[in-house]
């Protein structure tokens, strides 16, 4: 397709609204821009850069060098075949006449099309491209309809639906207004500035004037990314002025950016007495309730101040500061009260009270779950063995398992659920428990989300695994496993978190996952029908493991090769994965994988009973002796290495030395010989070879390299 365009113009669309939902603003901005881009591409309209804008009161997109119209498009319609287009007298047939009429021309104006498959009448013309201005309203409407808005609203008597009421619309193509109605509002060229600093309408001469006009006259920073960085810089500067360091959470920064059009940073203070309260509680209320940034000293300790971002440049900033200080004080007072009340009784005293809190109707109370976690923790400790490294963690892990859910009944966690585990650590330390027990109580909730840190202590890792496996087996046993996008118990996250802890912890935790699931299943109430729950959960976790390795760049065939051997210890699975990955890169890998497939096919098709042992006295060819000796030698080395060290890379490297011998064997030996004894012996030899080759993984699953 060639373009005959000679004219391009800038384009601006702005949708002015009531305050948009802050947590959705970025998503709405990107979806609006992407929707317009898709519409332009579908219409075949060329354009330059696209710059999306978003503030609490507007969504906008500025597009440079947008083509003034679609390119003209050649049209070719094939008609009747030439040998059937005219009768014996050379007159056009009815089919030919009808085709010409449908094209709006006479038969004489039709052209001929010659191809290798024959000749046809053809109609050729040029479709003139539509004017862009006529296409844009529909493109905008389609982009708005595709925005990710869970629930749209109506306002006034209008039947129009959108995320928030719409007050103005700008549609500028070059210096012309596109005459259209968008979301029930007639488009124009007037935008609005800041709600308080410049509420009056502002005239836009052209799209390029949009951002500069808003920022200089309207007191609005329309560029989301620029506004975000301005807030970051202001917050950092404010913290430095107080002698501290601002802690800037990206999610909070995004939300604050979505709440203001003209950011003005202020720093407030609170009484030092509140610092006696665990700092996480103070930080939680500052971030969650007030959208404040907190400040820490050089040691990471909370300082008695906060940073707020206002949406107005006040003539009396001290009044704004004092107002924020008044708001935060009662919230901190509540947190201090909760802390003092909770500390009046030891954490252990809440264990019995867990019997009154239902975890899940069929799975019992939180007390029941705690006892299951405690039992599974003991099983994990036994499975890890009595090495000094793990033995020292036993007491602290079992104590943490007993106490790990008790903080759910504290006033502080009831008010701030996100502090579960964290407050458990504080209360445990206050009760004089060992610090490792306290640390494990906090860590057993890790990782809380994708990419989160893992538990660092052995007791924390053990209790975290026990808690997640109990949840997984329990929810599967009551038939509430994830379905499609629905995962109300976050089982996918629990499965992946468990696997990450086992594999990524140092040292790796050499745990038999399937056996742990069997134990966890036995701990469940006897009333449940739980026949195959352990196998279901194991398979579910293997699917999560597939995704885990995919993100690390491990090829699918490498994963399938290891999975075929069904290793049940994730740490062992991981060692096999990296050994096969290394083997796959060797030059011998492809031929050995092909040979392995050949062996597998021969053994599968053989009707003979294959002996367990090989009789050297039946060998007829020297290559049989050579292959057998090499197999026996490698079996001793491979089995010895794997059993003692659990490493497979050395084994896979040695396996590569078989390539020439295996190739020579298949070249010189007829496995399916007529002699039954000879045939059975050679099949036994191949079986030993196949078992050796597949000791780490089923290398026949490896794709052609």
d(CA 546, CA 179): 54
Read off the pLDDT of each residue in 244-259 and give the average, rounded to a whole number: 96
44-52 long-range contacts, Cβ below 8 Å, gap at least 24?
44/1, 44/70, 44/71, 44/73, 44/129, 45/70, 45/132, 45/135, 46/3, 46/5, 46/8, 46/71, 47/8, 47/11, 48/8, 51/211, 51/223, 52/224
| Residue where the block lists tokens 């098709």 | 605
* Token pair listed for 368: 């029941």
DSSP state of 312: S
Where do runs of H (alpha helix) occur along 570-696? 570-584, 589-605, 622-645, 649-655, 659-668, 676-693
Read off the pLDDT of each residue in 533-556 and give the average, rounded to a whole number: 95
**H or E stretch covering 118:** strand 118-127
Read off the pLDDT of each residue in 551-562 and give the average, rounded to a whole number: 94
Question: For position 1, what pLDDT does the model report?
Answer: 36
Q: Is residue 230 scored above 60 in pLDDT? A: yes
Question: For position 512, what pLDDT does the model report?
Answer: 96
Are the C-beta atoms of residues 576 and 562 closer than 8 Å to each other? yes
What is the residue extent of each domain of the chain?
8-70+131-216, 73-127, 224-342, 350-553, 576-701
* Token pair listed for 541: 């976790």
Q: Is residue 5 scored above 50 in pLDDT? A: no
DSSP state of 140: H
Rounded to 10°, the helix 458-477/394-403 angle is: 50
Residue 197 three-state SS: coil
d(CA 607, CA 436): 61
Tell me the sheet residues that pair with 14: 60, 170
Tell me the sheet residues that pair with 55: 58
Q: Is residue 103 scored above 60 in pLDDT? A: yes
196 C-beta neighbours (distance < 10 Å), count: 13
Q: Is the model more confident about 679 or about 169?
A: 169
User: What is the residue-averaged pLDDT of the chain?
Assistant: 91
DSSP state of 107: G
Instruction: List, for residues 285-298, the tens digit of each pLDDT value.
Output: 999 999 999 999 99
Question: For position 542, what pLDDT does the model report?
Answer: 97
Q: How far apart are the first and last CA of the chain?
A: 39
What is the percent of the chain where pLDDT is above 90?
Answer: 67
Q: Is residue 2 scored above 50 in pLDDT? A: no
Architecture, CATH, for domain 576-701: Orthogonal Bundle (1.10)
366 φ, ψ (degrees, to nearest 5): -65, -30
79-82 long-range contacts, Cβ below 8 Å, gap at least 24?
79/110, 79/120, 79/121, 79/122, 79/123, 80/120, 80/121, 81/118, 81/119, 81/120, 82/112, 82/118, 82/119, 82/120, 82/121
- The length of the chain in residues reads 705
Let me know if 528 is exposed, middle or buried by CB neighbors in 10 A (0-12, 13-18, 19+): middle
Q: By C-alpha distance, which of 404, 406, 398 is closest to 349?
A: 406
Instruction: List, for residues 667-690, the tens digit of each pLDDT value.
Output: 888 888 888 888 888 898 988 888
Tell me the sheet residues that pair with 15: 59, 169
Instruction: List, for residues 590-605, the tens digit of each pLDDT value.
Output: 888 888 888 888 888 8
3-state helix, strand, coil in the chain (%, to 5): 55, 15, 30
Instruction: List, for residues 334-372, the tens digit of each pLDDT value.
Output: 999 999 999 999 999 999 999 999 999 999 999 999 999
d(CA 420, CA 100): 78
Read off the pLDDT of each residue in 258-265 and give the average, rounded to a whole number: 97
d(CA 290, CA 270): 14
* Token pair listed for 254: 């995004």
Read off the pLDDT of each residue in 114-137 and give the average, rounded to a whole number: 87
d(CA 658, CA 699): 14
Question: For position 286, what pLDDT does the model report?
Answer: 96
Q: Is residue 644 scored above 60 in pLDDT? A: no
d(CA 511, CA 474): 20
Residue 636, phi-psi category: left (phi > 0), alpha (psi -120 to 50), beta (remainder):
alpha
Are the C-beta atoms of residues 81 and 91 closer than 8 Å to each other? no
Q: By C-alpha distance, which of 321, 277, 516, 544 is closest to 419?
A: 277
d(CA 334, CA 314): 30
Question: For position 104, what pLDDT does the model report?
Answer: 87
DSSP state of 339: H
Q: Where does the pLDDT of residue 640 fall: very low under 50, low under 70, confident under 90, or very high at 90 and above?
A: low
Instruction: List, for residues 372-404, the tens digit of each pLDDT value.
Output: 999 999 999 999 887 777 777 889 999 999 999
Q: Is residue 3 scored above 50 in pLDDT? A: no
Contacts of 337 (CB under 8 A, 6+ apart): 411
């Amino acid at each position: 397709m060639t373009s005959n365009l000679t004219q391009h113009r800038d384009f601006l669309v702005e949708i002015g609204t009531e305050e948009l939902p802050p947590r959705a603003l970025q998503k709405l901005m990107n979806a609006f821009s992407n929707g317009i881009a898709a519409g332009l591409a579908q219409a075949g309209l060329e354009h330059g850069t696209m710059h999306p804008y978003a503030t609490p009161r507007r969504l906008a997109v500025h597009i440079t060098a947008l083509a003034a119209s679609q390119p003209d498009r050649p049209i070719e319609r094939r008609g009747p075949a030439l040998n059937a287009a005219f009768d014996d007298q050379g007159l056009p047939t009815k089919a030919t006449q009808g085709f010409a009429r449908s094209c709006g021309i006479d038969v004489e104006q039709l052209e001929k099309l010659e191809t290798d498959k024959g000749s046809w009448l053809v109609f050729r013309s040029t479709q003139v491209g539509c004017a862009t201005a006529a296409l844009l309203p529909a493109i905008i409407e389609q982009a708005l309809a595709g925005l990710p808005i869970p629930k749209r609203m109506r306002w006034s008597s209008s039947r129009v639906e959108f995320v928030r009421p719409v007050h103005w619309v700008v549609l500028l193509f070059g210096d012309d207004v596109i005459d259209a109605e968008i979301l029930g509002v007639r488009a124009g060229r007037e935008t609005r500035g800041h709600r308080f600093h410049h509420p009056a309408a502002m005239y836009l001469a052209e799209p390029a004037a949009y951002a500069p006009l808003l920022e200089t006259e309207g007191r609005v920073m329309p560029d989301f990314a620029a506004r975000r960085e301005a807030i970051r810089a202001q917050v950092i500067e404010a913290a430095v002025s107080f002698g501290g360091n601002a802690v800037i959470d990206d999610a909070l920064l995004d939300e604050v950016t979505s709440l203001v059009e003209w950011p003005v940073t202020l720093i407030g203070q609170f009484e030092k007495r509140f610092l006696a309260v665990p700092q996480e509680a103070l930080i939680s209320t500052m971030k969650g309730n007030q959208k404040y940034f907190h400040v820490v000293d050089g040691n990471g300790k909370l300082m008695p101040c906060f940073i707020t971002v206002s949406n107005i440049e006040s003539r009396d900033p001290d009044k704004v500061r004092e107002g924020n200080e008044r708001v935060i004080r009662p919230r901190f007072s509540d947190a201090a009260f909760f802390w003092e009340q909770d500390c009046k009784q030891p954490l252990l005293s809440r264990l019995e009270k867990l019997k009154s809190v239902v975890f899940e109707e069929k799975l019992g109370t939180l007390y029941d779950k705690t006892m299951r976690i405690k039992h599974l923790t003991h099983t994990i400790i036994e499975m890890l063995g009595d090495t000094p490294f793990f033995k020292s963690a036993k007491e602290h892990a079992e104590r943490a398992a007993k106490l790990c859910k008790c903080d759910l009944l504290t006033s502080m966690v009831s008010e701030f659920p996100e502090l579960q585990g964290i407050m458990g650590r504080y209360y445990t330390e206050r009760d004089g428990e060992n610090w490792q027990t306290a640390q494990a109580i906090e860590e057993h909730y890790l990782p809380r989300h994708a990419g989160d840190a893992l538990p660092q202590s052995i007791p924390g890792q053990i209790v975290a695994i026990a808690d997640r496996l109990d949840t997984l087996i329990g929810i599967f046993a009551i038939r509430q496993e994830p379905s499609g996008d629905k995962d109300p118990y976050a089982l996918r996250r629990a499965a992946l978190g468990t696997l990450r802890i086992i594999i990524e912890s140092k040292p790796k935790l050499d745990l038999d996952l399937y056996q742990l699931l069997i134990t966890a299943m036995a701990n469940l109430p006897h009333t449940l029908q739980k026949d195959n729950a352990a196998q279901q959960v194991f398979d579910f976790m293997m699917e999560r493991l597939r995704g885990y390795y995919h993100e690390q760049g491990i090829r699918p065939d490498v994963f399938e090769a290891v999975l075929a051997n069904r290793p049940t210890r994730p740490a062992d699975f991981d060692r096999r994965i990296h050994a096969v990955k290394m083997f796959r890169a060797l030059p011998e890998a492809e031929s050995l994988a092909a040979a392995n497939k050949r062996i597998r096919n021969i053994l599968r098709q053989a009707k003979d009973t294959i002996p367990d042992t090989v009789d050297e006295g039946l060998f007829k060819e020297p290559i049989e002796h050579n292959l057998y000796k090499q197999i026996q030698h490698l079996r001793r080395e491979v089995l010895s290495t794997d059993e003692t060290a659990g490493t497979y890379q050395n084994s896979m490297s040695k396996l590569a030395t078989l390539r020439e011998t295996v190739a020579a064997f298949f070249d010189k030996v007829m496995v399916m010989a007529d002699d039954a004894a000879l045939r059975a012996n050679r099949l036994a030899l191949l079986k030993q070879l196949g078992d050796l080759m597949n000791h780490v993984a089923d290398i026949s699953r490896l794709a052609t390299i």
